[in-house]
Amino acid sequence: MEKVVLQKKDAADWVYRGEGAANLVLAYTGSSPVFIGKVMRIQKSQRNGKSGVNANGTLTTHERLLWGENKELLASPSREIVEQLYVTHVMSPLLGPTHVDSGMLVLVTKEFLESVAKNVICLRPAWRVDSSQVDANRDSVLIISDHSIFRNGTHKAGPCISVEIKPKCGFLPISRFIAEENAVKRTTPRFRLHQALKLHNHEISEFSKYNPLDLFSGSRDGIAKAIEALYATPQNNFRVFLNGSLVFGGLGGGTENTTVRVGEAFEEALKSVIKEDKGLRTTSFIQLVTDAVYSSGVLNQLLEVQKLDTYDIEGAIHAYYNIISQPCVICRELSKDKKAHCYASLHTIPLDESLKIVKDFLIAATAKDCSLMICFTPKEDGKLQSGSSFDTVSLRATNQVFKYKKTTLSVELLCPKCRRKVMRVISDVVGITSIVLDPSKNTVTVTGEADPVKIIKQVRKFRKHASIISIGAAKSDDKKDSDKKDVMFYGTTGLASSAPPKICQRCDVWYVVGDDFYSYCSIL
How many Cβ atoms sit within 10 Å of the Cβ of residue 417? 21
* pLDDT confidence of residue 109: 95
Distance CA 322, CA 165 (A): 36
Three-state secondary structure readout of 91-102: HHHHHCHHHECC
Q: Could you tell me if 416 and 491 are in contact, meaning their C-beta atoms sit under 8 angstroms apart?
A: no
- Residues sharing a CB contact under 8 Å with residue 288, sequence separation 6 or more, in sequence order: 274, 376, 395, 398, 400
Residue 162 is given by DSSP the state E
* pLDDT confidence of residue 28: 93
* pLDDT confidence of residue 411: 52
* pLDDT confidence of residue 522: 33
* pLDDT confidence of residue 279: 87
* pLDDT confidence of residue 288: 87
3-class secondary structure, 322: helix
Distance CA 257, CA 302 (A): 27
The identity of residue 237, as a single letter, is N
Q: How many CA atoms lie within 13 A of 109 on its CB side?
A: 11
Distance CA 108, CA 423 (A): 37
- Residues sharing a CB contact under 8 Å with residue 443, sequence separation 6 or more, in sequence order: 408, 409, 410, 411, 437, 469
Regions of the chain where pLDDT drops below 50 = 1, 51-55, 152-155, 384-392, 402-408, 410, 475-524
* pLDDT confidence of residue 273: 84
Distance CA 483, CA 228 (A): 21
- Give Cα separations from 486 to 100, 374, 399, 436 (angstroms): 22, 21, 29, 7
- Residues sharing a CB contact under 8 Å with residue 522, sequence separation 6 or more, in sequence order: 100, 101, 103, 144, 147, 370, 371, 373
* pLDDT confidence of residue 495: 27
- The strand pair at 104-108 and 5-6 is best described as parallel
Domains identified in the chain and CATH numbers? 5-146 (3.30.200.110), 163-409 (no CATH), 419-460 (no CATH)
Distance CA 172, CA 191 (A): 10
- Give Cα separations from 43 to 78, 109, 514 (angstroms): 13, 14, 24
Q: Could you tell me if 294 and 436 are in contact, meaning their C-beta atoms sit under 8 angstroms apart?
A: no
Distance CA 21, CA 131 (A): 9
Q: Could you tell me if 187 and 387 are in contact, meaning their C-beta atoms sit under 8 angstroms apart?
A: no
Q: For 29-46, b where at least 16 C-beta lie within 10 A, e where not — what string?
A: eeeeeebebbbbbbbbbe
The residue count of the chain comes to: 524
In DSSP terms, which residues pair with 388 in a beta bridge? none
Q: In degrees to the nearest 10, what's the CA dihedral of 344, 350, 352, 353?
A: -40
* pLDDT confidence of residue 10: 95
* pLDDT confidence of residue 524: 27
* pLDDT confidence of residue 431: 64
Distance CA 16, CA 252 (A): 9
